[in-house]
Every structure is written in structure tokens, then in C-alpha cells.
């Protein structure tokens, strides 16, 4: 309130008071004081109203203080919750990072182990396959030798005969040689047997042996 407004209000109150005194004097001459009674009642009502307003203002102030305190507590609780969630998020991020590292290392180790196992199995299969091929080749050579021996034996039997008598077995193919002395027909069988023992091709061995 400005000074001018304050002075105007004081003047108005003085005028009202002067008017009240004048009315009260008039009422007293008439034997009553209704003007004063009305003024007092009006003032009491105004003061009661002011007290009610003051009480409401006090209640409002208390409620404002309570709400302010609640809001402060909520802010503090929210800040604590946010800090807790931030820490939890950081922990989860760290766990995720470690999990990624562990997973990467595990996968890398698993790949190396699988590659090593595959390579080992491949070498084992290759060695086994080579061994089987050698066995097959040996069996093939043996079969070839046996077939050749059988063929030569049948050829010998067709072309001549063997004579057993005193002193051993003699060839009657015309060479007149004793079996143990080097008949070429007997040498065929001995040569074939030698080829089997040395694992040499039967035909090449036969050709070189005459």
C-alpha cells in the first residue's frame, strides 16, 4: 500500500468514526444506541471473518509446508532410486561386457578345438585309408601272383609231365634237367614264389627271370 492510499484510508476511518459518534449521540438522546450496537456487531463479524481467514491461511501454510516436505522427500527418494538404478545399470553393462568377452573366448576356443579335432580325424582317416589301400594293393599283387603261378603251372602240366624215380624228380619237357638242378619249368614256380615274398610285380619278375 502506498502512502497516499494509507492517508486516504485513515481519513475514511476518521470520517466513519465521526459519523458513528454523531449517530450514537443522536441515539442516546432518543434513549437507545442502535448505531453503536450495529457498528460493534459489524466489527465483530469483520474480526471473526478475519480470524477465519487467518486460520484458513494458517492451515494453507501448514499444508504448503507439509506438501513441500513431502515433495522434498519424494525428490530425495527419486534421486536415491535413480542413483540405485544407475548403479544397477552400470553393473548390468559390466556383466554384459564380461559375458561378451567370455562368450567370444569360449567360441574361439571351441572353434580351435573343433578344427584340431577335425584335422586329427582327417589325418587318422587319411592314414587308415592309406593302410587300406596298401592292404588292397598287397592282396591284388598276391592274387595276381597266384593267378600267374596257376597259369604257369597249368601250362607246365599241359606241355609236359614230371617223372619220379630214383634220385628225385625229373623234367620230361626236353631239357632233361633234374628239378633241383635248375629246370626252367621248375624255376617258374620258384621265381613266382620269390615274387610273392618280395612283393614285386609277377610279370616283371618273370621277364627278368627268363
Residue 119 falls inside a structural domain: no
pLDDT of res. 139: 93
Q: Do the Cβ atoms of 159 and 173 come closer than 8 Å?
A: yes
Look at residue 160 in the predicted model and tell me its pLDDT. 57
Is 128 a member of any domain?
Answer: no
Residues 19 and 77 in one domain: yes
106 within a domain of the structure (yes/no):
no
Q: Split the chain (210 residues) into runs of 10 and give each run's mean pLDDT.
A: 71 75 75 73 83 89 92 92 93 93 89 89 89 92 88 75 46 46 48 48 44
125 falls within a domain: no
Domain that holds residue 197: 138-209
Q: Is residue 71 part of a domain?
A: yes
pLDDT of residue 34: 74
Per-residue 3-state assignment (H helix, E strand, C coil) for the chain: CCHHHHHHHHHHHHHHHHHHHHHHHHHHHCCCCHHHHHHHHHHHHHHHHHHHHHHHHHHHHHHHHHHHHHHHHHHHHHHHHHHHHHHHHHHHHHHHHHHHHHHHHHHHHHHHHHHHHHHHHHHHHHHHHHHHHHHHHHHHHHHHHHHHHHHHHHHHHHHCCEEEECCEEEECCCCCCEHHHCCHHHHHHHHHHHHHHHCCCHHHHHHHHC
How many separate domains does the chain show? 2
18 domain-assigned: yes
Residue 131 lies in a domain: no
Based on the fold, state whether residues 82 and 15 are members of the same structural domain: yes
Amino acid at each position: 500500500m502506498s502512502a497516499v492510499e494509507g492517508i486516504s484510508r485513515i481519513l475514511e476511518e476518521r470520517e466513519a468514526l465521526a459519523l458513528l459518534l454523531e449517530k450514537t449521540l443522536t441515539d442516546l438522546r432518543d434513549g437507545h444506541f442502535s448505531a453503536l450496537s450495529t457498528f460493534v456487531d459489524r466489527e465483530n463479524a469483520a474480526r471473526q471473518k478475519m480470524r477465519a481467514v487467518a486460520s484458513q491461511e494458517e492451515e494453507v501454510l501448514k499444508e504448503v509446508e507439509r506438501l513441500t516436505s513431502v515433495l522434498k522427500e519424494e525428490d530425495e527418494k527419486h534421486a536415491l532410486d535413480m542413483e540405485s538404478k544407475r548403479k544397477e545399470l552400470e553393473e548390468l553393462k559390466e556383466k554384459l561386457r564380461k559375458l561378451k568377452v567370455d562368450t567370444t573366448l569360449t567360441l574361439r576356443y571351441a572353434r580351435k578345438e573343433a578344427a584340431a579335432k577335425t584335422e586329427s580325424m582327417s589325418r587318422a582317416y587319411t592314414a587308415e585309408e592309406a593302410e587300406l589301400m596298401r592292404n588292397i594293393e598287397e592282396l591284388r599283387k598276391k592274387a595276381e601272383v597266384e593267378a600267374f603261378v596257376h597259369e604257369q603251372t597249368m601250362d607246365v602240366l599241359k606241355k609236359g609231365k614230371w617223372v619220379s624215380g630214383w634220385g628225385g624228380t625229373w623234367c620230361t619237357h626236353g631239357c632233361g634237367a633234374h628239378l633241383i638242378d635248375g629246370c626252367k619249368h621248375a624255376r617258374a614256380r620258384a621265381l613266382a614264389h620269390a615274387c610273392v615274398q618280395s612283393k614285386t610285380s609277377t610279370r616283371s619278375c618273370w621277364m627278368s627271370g627268363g
